[in-house]
């Protein structure tokens, strides 16, 4: 078992102490820890001091997919690495979670990537046990959401998508299938990867034998995602539909995303949610139009 991990960092010092604690919990299971700083250049040296045993890279771009690819190219220089994990910096793992994932990943020759059951912050309530891509509108649906973990028991299952926060993939998946699609920038990469892996005849899996908690905290306690997030959440599914499917399917995905954005604006106006919610809806719809123009 020779696992390398990738974690991105972008001006998230408000998470740094908790991240270090989470990392200390799983560092004994990994061979190489790669951090990519795609934020302020001066943060690179600070990260090297905070994680002296890690490989810290400076990305020249804020493009998250390009930053992941930078780390992947570096990791593939180590021929002994046979599995690569992507772990966001606010994920906490159960003890020996990576070992459990590794065992599941290599239990089937056609398994390309696996994830643990993802639990809601500081709880035993499921956020997802793998995910499902809705074939009609490319919506990303979490499986088993809001169920107590004890109801699921110990199980492995095959799914059509995995949450991007924590996944473990075989090395040869990237060697054979290619890296992340950098046109996405951020968001919906899990949809793109799920479709690509299925089309190549391989499978994704999720297991309850390993658990993860997404301990997400927004800067300043912000409740609404950023406008950039809204834009890419509207844009990228339209782009992915055009990339893999017919014009008809792309049109359905486009109108669905526009509807979602305008419905968010309507809800914000009717329920007095405030300017941030209204702007989030507008940017979601705006992103859908941008997806029609992507190549």
218 pLDDT band, cuts 50/70/90, is: low
Check residue 220 and give its pLDDT: 57
**What average pLDDT does this structure show over 21-44?**
95
Closest CA to 29 of 110, 83, 88, 106: 83
- Mean of the per-residue pLDDT values for the chain? 93
| Minimum mean pLDDT range among 37-46, 102-111, 234-243, 275-284 | 275-284
10 Å CB burial of residue 199 (0-12, 13-18, 19+) is exposed
CA 203, 208, 211, 212: dihedral to nearest 10 degrees? 50
At residue 187, does pLDDT exceed 60?
yes
**What average pLDDT does this structure show over 252-265?**
94
**Fold for domain 3-219?**
Spore Coat Polysaccharide Biosynthesis Protein SpsA; Chain A (3.90.550)
**What average pLDDT does this structure show over 128-135?**
95
| Minimum mean pLDDT range among 14-23, 115-124, 188-197, 215-224 | 215-224
273 pLDDT band, cuts 50/70/90, is: confident
Closest CA to 32 of 7, 59, 13, 9: 7
Check residue 225 and give its pLDDT: 66
CA distances from 24 to 27, 33, 49, 210, 246 (A): 5, 11, 15, 17, 46
Give residue for tokens 């406008």.
Answer: 227
54 pLDDT band, cuts 50/70/90, is: very high
At residue 65, does pLDDT exceed 60?
yes
At residue 120, does pLDDT exceed 90?
yes
The pTM (predicted TM-score) of the whole model is 0.92
At residue 268, does pLDDT exceed 90?
no
Helix axes 247-271, 275-293, angle to 10 degrees: 170
End-to-end CA distance of the chain: 39
């Amino acid at each position: 078992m020779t696992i390398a991990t990738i974690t991105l960092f972008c001006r998230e010092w408000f998470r740094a102490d908790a991240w270090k604690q989470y990392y200390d919990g799983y560092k004994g299971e990994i061979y190489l820890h790669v951090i990519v700083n795609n934020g302020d250049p001066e943060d690179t040296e600070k990260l090297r001091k905070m994680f002296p045993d890690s490989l810290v890279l400076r990305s020249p771009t804020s493009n998250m997919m390009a930053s992941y690819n930078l780390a992947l190219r570096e990791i593939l220089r180590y021929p002994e690495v046979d599995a690569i994990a992507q772990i966001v910096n606010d994920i906490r793992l159960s003890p020996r979670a990576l070992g459990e994932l590794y065992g599941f990943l290599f239990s089937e020759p056609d398994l390309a990537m696996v994830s643990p059951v993802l639990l809601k912050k500081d709880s035993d309530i499921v956020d997802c046990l793998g995910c499902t891509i809705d074939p009609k509108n490319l919506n990303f649906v979490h499986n088993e959401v809001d169920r107590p973990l004890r109801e699921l028991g110990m199980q492995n299952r095959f799914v059509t998508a995995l949450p991007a926060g924590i996944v473990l993939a075989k090395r040869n998946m990237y060697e054979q299938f290619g890296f992340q699609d950098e046109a996405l920038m951020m968001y919906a990469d899990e949809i793109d990867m799920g479709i690509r892996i299925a089309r190549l005849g391989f499978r994704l899996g999720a297991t309850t034998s390993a658990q993860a908690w997404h301990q997400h905290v927004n800067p300043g306690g912000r409740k609404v995602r950023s406008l950039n997030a809204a834009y890419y959440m509207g844009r990228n599914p339209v782009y992915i539909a055009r990339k893999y499917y017919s014009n008809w399917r792309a049109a359905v995905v486009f109108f669905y995303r526009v509807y979602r954005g305008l419905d968010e604006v309507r809800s914000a106006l009717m329920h007095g949610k405030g300017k941030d919610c209204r702007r989030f809806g507008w940017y979601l719809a705006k992103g859908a139009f941008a997806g029609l123009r992507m190549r």
